[in-house]
Structure formats: C-alpha cells, structure tokens
Structure 1
Amino acid sequence: MKIIDAHIHFCREPYFDQIAELAGHKNTSEHLKSRYAAHNIVQGVVMGNRGLQLSEHQYPDYLSYCVGLDSTCFKAEEAVQQAYWVEKHLQRKNCVGIKLYPGYNHFYIYDPSVDPFYQLAMQYKKPVAVHTGLTATSNALLKYSHPMVLDEAAVRYPQVQFVMCHIGNPWLVDAIAVIGKNKNVAADLSGILEGRIDSMPDFFARKHGYINFFKTWLEYLDDYDRLLYGTDWPLANIANYIEFVAHIIPERHHDKVFFDNANRIYDLGL
C-alpha cells in the first residue's frame, strides 16, 4: 500500500530535534527519507511555519508544502506585501496549499482580513489547511482553534477546500459535525499520538475508551473520502502512526485514507 503523509513539519530546530528523539527518530532529511522508504510513504506534505521568503522553503523532491501564515499577514500595513509572497509560493508546483495557525496567532479564520488569501487559494485551486484542536504552547488561545470556526469559514468561502488539521482533537464530535455539514471541509488525522509507543496492543487496551469513541464518530460521519493520513512528524513514531490509523479506519477504506484523498485534495499528481 502506498502512503502519503499529509501533515509534517520540516525544521532543523532544537525543539523539533528533541521531539524527534522522543519519537524514536532523528530530525534529518536523510532519516525521514529512509523511514518513508521503509514504509512505502511516497510523499509528505510540509506544513510551513517559516517566513514567506521563497528561499526559506526549499525541500527535497519527496516533499511538497503548504505555505504557512502567521499573524503579521493579517495586519493592514503588511497584507499587500504578504499576499504578493503567498502568490509567489502558490505559483510553485511543490507548494500545494496555504496553512493557517489561528490558535497560535489569535485570529478567527473567517475574519475579512483573511479574504485576500482565500481569493488566492481559489484562484490557484489549492486548499487551505487550518490548525484545529489543542496547541503545543500555553499562550495560544483555544477559542480560535476550535473546529467550529471552520463552519463559518466554510459557509463564507464555499469554493475553498479546507483541511481541518488534527480533526479538531479533542473536540471530535464538533469536528465531525462541521465535516458532515460542509462538503468543502476534509480533515487530516495527524497529531493524535505523541512520542514512541513500545506496544501498540497495550496502547489500544489502555486507550480503548477514547479509541472506541473516535471510531464511533468516524463511523457516524461515514465519509472516508475526506479523511487524510498524517503524522505531524516529528511528533510521533511513523510505524506507530500507521498502525494507529489502520486500527481506527476500516480496512476497505485504507487506500482512500492513506493515499487517494491526499493525492486528490493536494493535487499531488501521484
């Protein structure tokens, strides 16, 4: 089975180095490429969290990326310049979308200040990925990253394909409601595991309540065409994550969730 990892980070910084080690990995391109080869992962999609200069987004050929926007992009005095650079990114073949970080950067994704970026997403027919759910830092504000914010954005911008990153975890019921209501919203399953898990059967036993709850609401949604495999590398162990997603997704839908949906939504051409 071919796999696309639809949500990773690719930064050589001490923080990412440390969490990679906790997950049983090394935060290097060489190591990531070797792990991808071992698990037949043919492409990864980087969620950009660097600046907007084109030179800051150079990736090996087995990675595509979404250009990440922080709060400076929505300041009136900087918006025109930032939109110019975002368009330059979207003109690149390996830039497959835009990534928003509303919880970390304290803005609602349906604010009119985001309009220029949605217009660019529509013009270039590329999706907008949105961080939803819990955040990695305590100074973020969860009211901005709650999955319900995607409901209003999806209604205001029906021509934009949204990807709800982390499927709004732990607000899974709200996330499923938003996805079920809005046909222009998909979700990736990244960021749910953390670190390396020595025994997945023990993990499934210990977390059976949460996992059964998760599976119940995925079954309620019953739309596996809009779920994407992703890991949030280097947060989690790759082998663990494949086993986890294979466990919560019915086997007959594995090809869709592990490969087909990301290939279609991010237009990877694989």
Structure 2
Amino acid sequence: MLIDMHVHPIFYGPICNDDAELENRKNAFGVWKQGPMDFEELFAEWDICGITQAALLPLDLTTTAGFWVVDNDQVEALCGMNPDKFIGFASVDPHRSDAVDVVRKAFEEQGLQGLKLNPAKQKFYPNDPVAEPIYRLCEQENKPVIFHSGLSWEPNTPTKYCHPMAFEEVLIKHPNLRVCLAHFAWPWVREMAMLMIKYPNVYTDTSLLYVDSPEEQMMELFTKDMGPMWFERCFPEQVMFASNGPRFRAFKLKRALDKVPMRDFARENLYCKNALRFLSGKGCNRNGRGQNDPASE
C-alpha cells in the first residue's frame, strides 16, 4: 500500500473544461508545460510505483487573487468518481468572512477529510487570529490540516509566511490538532525535525523541491540533513510519502526512497501507516508513537 499525501489535481481531465480556469491554474502554480490528463493515464503512472490512494489538495485564493486554483466542489466531484482512490481535502481563504462556513460545509456535507492552507499564497501568518476559528473547527471535527511550509517555487509566495518556526504557536495552542508542515519545510530540515521531536501532533512529508536528482535529494535528506537514524528513532510516525504532483513525478520519488536505508517498519510507516494515522488520529499513544513500533520501546 502506498499513499501519496500531496497532490494538486490541477490537470485532472474531468475538471479541465474551462480554458480560462486552466490558464489561472498554470499561472498560480507556476507550471506551464503540462496539460490535462485522463484517469487512464494517471492510474497507469500510479501503477508504476504502486500508489493506491492520493490526497487531492484544492486552494482558495478568493481574496488574494480572485479565484480558486481548484475548488472544494471539484475535489468532491473527483472523489465521487473514484472514492477508493482519492482522499479529498478542502481549502478556504482565511480572510473570507464566511471561512468557517465553507470549511464546515466541506467536512459535514461534502465528506472532505482535511484542510489545505498555503500561508505564502494566501498571505497570512499561521498564528494570525484570522485563522483561529478555522483551527478550532478542525479540532472539533477531528480533521487534519496540511500547510505549505518552507520554500515555494510558485509565483507571488513570500517565504516569510512559511518558516517552520512560524507554526510553533499554533502547535502549542492546539495540541490536539494534527498538522502537516509539508515539504519537510525545506531548507529548514533541522527546524522541522526539532518540531516533530517536540510536538507529536506535527507531521511532515517528502514532497521536497528537488535541487538535485530525486535519488540525491532523498539520500541527502535522510542521511545528511538529518542523522541517518533520526527518522527511525525520533519521529518514525510523523513523516509521510508525498510527491507534490504534478510538479514532480511520484514514481521517481518512490524509486529514490526505495534506495534510502531504513528498517521495514519505518518504510511501512512512511509509505502508508503514517498517512492513515494522520487522517484518522488513531493508532498513536500520548508520545506520538505507535504502541507496536520498535522506536516506542
């Protein structure tokens, strides 16, 4: 089982019927050389590396750009077409006056499983009071939040909003809120590691922006940016497989991670178990580690 926890469905064929909308997506995401793909092509690529499910992430830029990159209704529709394959997330622009209502509808009526926010793109600091009602609702509904963190190559994304330390007050104030700071907060990998050691409710993922080949980048991440045993010993249940598609190809990432030395329990956590825990909140003890993992002994 392999779950990709970070996919932007901007080119999924069934939601690519409007040329103006597609152009907005390309410009917002900074990807201009790709185009729509049908499910047959998508799932053929999944089969190369064994992906069984993927989290689909929309983005609401209502007040900053005047449009959604992908909206909650579109994610709901995609999940309805392939409910066994797609895990739908919601998004909301925190500056909207109806932000809480949008999120509540996404969870209670549309069946979406979590929330995606991008502070750099949506222009808010994570600890801004404007986002507090949203965090409280996610806690009440037992839904996780994925934040963009670290560098973004997308246009108009000031990095100041996404430094990993900008999230610490949120983690302190909301200890029961499961939070993923995506992209390993690169280049602040050690700060990200520190947060995972300190806060069992914070996760990250492998959707780094490559500055080397995938093989070189993953080996650098797991054996040099961090000590080679940090993942297994310190936060074995807090890192999830994620590709950041369509910017990067999942099968190349999987091939690279297969070459990184780690024990079987850690690899299984990375590829699927951690995602299941993040989504459900089940299976972790008070220290953030599963009862049956060697690292919890």
TM class by smaller structure: 0.7 to 0.9
Matched AA of 2:54: G
The normalised TM-score by structure 2 is 0.75
2:57 maps to: 47
Q: Over residues 221-244 of structure 1, what are the superposed CA-to-partner deviations in whole Å (9 max), with x where a residue is unaligned?
A: 622111100000111122210022
Alignment of 1:156-235 (within 5 A): 156-193=173-210, 203-204=215-216, 212-216=223-227, 219=230, 222-235=234-247
2:133 maps to: 116
Q: Over residues 200-247 of structure 1, what are the superposed CA-to-partner deviations in whole Å (9 max), with x where a residue is unaligned?
A: 6xx53x996566323427627622111100000111122210022233
Matched AA of 1:56: Q
1:263 maps to: 276
2:19 maps to: none
Larger mean Cα displacement after TM superposition, 88-97 or 163-172: 88-97
1:238 maps to: 250
Pairwise CA distance, 1:18: 4.1
Report how many aligned residue pairs link the two structures. Answer: 252
Pairwise CA distance, 1:175: 0.9
- Distance in 2 (CA, whole Å) between partners of 1:217 and 1:97 is 31
Larger mean Cα displacement after TM superposition, 54-63 or 4-13: 54-63
Matched AA of 1:48: P
Identity of aligned pairs, percent?
20
Which of 80, 90, 109 is 2:107 aligned to? 90
Change (3 A) 1:31 1:268: farther
Matched AA of 1:229: F
CA contact (8 A) 2:149 2:184 kept: yes
The normalised TM-score by structure 1 is 0.82
Larger mean Cα displacement after TM superposition, 28-37 or 255-264: 28-37
CA contact (8 A) 2:190 2:226 kept: no
Q: Over residues 106-138 of structure 1, what are the superposed CA-to-partner deviations in whole Å (9 max), with x where a residue is unaligned?
A: 211111111111111011101011100101235
For the aligned residue pairs, the C-alpha RMSD in angstroms reads 2.9
Q: Over residues 83-102 of structure 1, what are the superposed CA-to-partner deviations in whole Å (9 max), with x where a residue is unaligned?
A: 11211111257511111111
- Distance in 1 (CA, whole Å) between partners of 2:111 and 2:259 is 31
- Distance in 2 (CA, whole Å) between partners of 1:94 and 1:207 is 34
Q: Over residues 118-161 of structure 1, what are the superposed CA-to-partner deviations in whole Å (9 max), with x where a residue is unaligned?
A: 11101110101110010123532111101111211100111211
- Distance in 2 (CA, whole Å) between partners of 1:92 and 1:158 is 26
